[in-house]
Structure 1
Amino acid sequence: MKVAIASSDGKTVAQHFGRCEGFVVVEVEGSKVLNREYRKNLFSNHQGAHDGGEGNCSPVDLLKDCDVVVSSGMGPRAYKRLKEQGKKVVITDETEVEKIIGEILTQSE
């Protein structure tokens, strides 16, 4: 399973999905992290990106291979597009990326 966590600094969860500078993407299997990367959101300054954008100008497209997307908030268009792609969308009050990863690993045990 691949999980994308919206984060502008790789440590804290971003307040808004489309406006963040990037995403911490972790691939987990059971209680192990198989891979971790940081994907830059090249669309964060584009018109419409904060709502999921259209066409190729979208952070939604950047995360096509992810199963779960975590953020502190997101616009309704981005939420709808992610759900249409079959992704689980988690809106959280948690502020630390590492705590979210820990929770995912604990749930996978």
Structure 2
Amino acid sequence: MKVAFASTDGIRVNEHFGRSGQFVVYEVEEEGYKFMEIRKFSEGRDRAIEESKDTPEVHNDLVWDKVKALSDCKIIYMTEIGPPSAARLSQKGIMPLKVKEGSSIEECLEKLYETIKTSPPPWLKKLLNKKEE
């Protein structure tokens, strides 16, 4: 199962979903987890999304492009996300998870892995059962 993190440095979750210029992607498996790649949308903050707020049609297209590019991820960690973006992720079967700014990606992965191994909540069981799709 792929998991993505909105991060400017690849170490901490420290960015809003829409503004994040990159997402760090990991694969979480029965044996553990491993780094896969960094998916870049822009250098630094995603200014195109920030600057398109006054033109809803353009803004919506940019957000959809980001959602589609992350659609193989089952969980995305971020510090904040707007309700429309959260709804778009949910429509694609992706669970948005807000965490405290500066949360360690490594600690998030450890906690997720431990939860999967011990007692995953219903929403996580559902995601795990869809991993073949």
TM-score, scaled relative to structure 1: 0.82
In structure 2, the partner of 1:20 is 20
Question: For 1:2 and 1:104, how far apart are their aligned partners in 2?
Answer: 12
Asked if residue 45 in structure 1 is aligned to residue 47 in structure 2, the reply is yes
Amino acid at match of 1:70: Y
Question: For 2:83 and 2:76, how far apart are their aligned partners in 1?
Answer: 14
Does structure 2 retain, via aligned residues, the 8 Å contact 1:18–1:50? no
Change in Cα spacing, 1:31 to 1:61, as seen in structure 2 (3 Å) is: same
Change in Cα spacing, 1:26 to 1:84, as seen in structure 2 (3 Å) is: same
Structure showing greater radius of gyration is 2
Structure 2 residue ranges without an equivalent (≥5)? 54-58, 118-133
Asked if residue 102 in structure 1 is aligned to residue 102 in structure 2, the reply is no
Change in Cα spacing, 1:13 to 1:34, as seen in structure 2 (3 Å) is: closer
Percent of pairs identical after alignment? 30
Match of 2:48, SS?
coil
1:70 to 64, 70, 77: 77
Match of 1:82, SS?
helix
Query: RMSD of the TM alignment (CA)?
Result: 2.6
TM-score, scaled relative to structure 2: 0.69
How many corresponding residue pairs? 109
Does structure 2 retain, via aligned residues, the 8 Å contact 1:50–1:75? no
Does structure 2 retain, via aligned residues, the 8 Å contact 1:50–1:74? no
